[in-house]
Amino acid sequence: MSAAAPDSKPPASGRTFSLRGLRRERPDQQRFEAPEVFGREAINRIARALPLFERAYAFVRFSILRPKLLSVMDLLLTDEGRILDVGCGFGLFAAYFGQTQPGRRIVGVDPDARRIGLAQKVAARLGLTQHSFHVGDVRDAHIEGPFDAAYVLDVMHHIPEDQQRAVLVHLRDLLVPGGVLLIKDITTEPASHLLFTELLDRAMVGWNEPLAYRHHRAWGEMLSELGFKVRMVRVPDVLPYPHVVIAATKL
């Protein structure tokens, strides 16, 4: 909070005024800070907490889900409470969102035990002791709700097409009313951009795993049918990734 101007008398109510005298503030009001929008420091701390190979991967990942995109998501997520990170991988984004808002208690779930082990180490090294990570598949793991928010970053297209709806139903049921389900995925147009992304995905998962991308309108329709209020944006990138960010609020 700004201090009162030296020559200004405190008002009888005991309230103070900002320096410009334009905004009335209560003494108990919280101080507003704008954290560095690009979050570079947060990313560097995460990278330093990882072994060399994963550190390189983290820099690649953070160059795809770059800080400008993360800042959008950061503002859409609640700043405190329990948040579910579905398919958390190495916990890169739990570590990011946990640093920008330390009041968040993030629960990460991923079927890959090695990644979960690393997510735990990264969180411990960064002092994010309120986070927890569990080996499990979102389709059948026992996940204890409720959650104030959940996010699913580039995971939905790894779920077989005929099971995606059931996963969204499950996530809806884990959320409190008014909770936000944040999905970052890849839309299917233009086709050349989808092909570019799919080739990179294939380099990671091979040719046998099914990849089930959907057009952003199809996600929107499905989420609306499931009782969410849906907003979405396509996020341009210097590389041809057809990113879409979907914020679905449970009604």
Ligand X SMILES: C[S@@+](CC[C@H](N)C(=O)[O-])C[C@H]1O[C@@H](n2cnc3c(N)ncnc32)[C@H](O)[C@@H]1O
Residues that bind ligand X (CB under 6 A): 61, 86-89, 92-93, 109-112, 115, 137-139, 153-155, 158-159
Return phi, psi of residue 117, to 5°: -60, -40
Q: Between 73 and 223, name the residue whose CB sits nearer to ligand X.
A: 73
Residues 12 and 27: their CA atoms lie apart, in Å, by: 13
Q: Between 16 and 58, name the residue whose CB sits nearer to ligand X.
A: 58
Q: Measured from the CB of residue 117, what is the shortest distance to ligand X in angstroms?
A: 13
Return phi, psi of residue 17, to 5°: -115, 150
Q: Measured from the CB of residue 11, what is the shortest distance to ligand X in angstroms?
A: 50
Residues 146 and 14: their CA atoms lie apart, in Å, by: 40
Q: Between 143 and 176, name the residue whose CB sits nearer to ligand X.
A: 143
Task: Give Dmax over CA atoms of the chain in angstroms.
Answer: 73
Q: Between 158 and 193, name the residue whose CB sits nearer to ligand X.
A: 158
DSSP H or E run through 150: strand 147-153
Residue with tokens 């991988």: 89
**Nearest position to ligand X, beta carbon:** 87
Q: Measured from the CB of residue 177, what is the shortest distance to ligand X in angstroms?
A: 24
Q: Measured from the CB of residue 185, what is the shortest distance to ligand X in angstroms?
A: 10
Q: Between 86 and 128, name the residue whose CB sits nearer to ligand X.
A: 86
CA atoms in the 13 A half-sphere facing the CB of 127: 7
Q: Measured from the CB of residue 124, what is the shortest distance to ligand X in angstroms?
A: 19
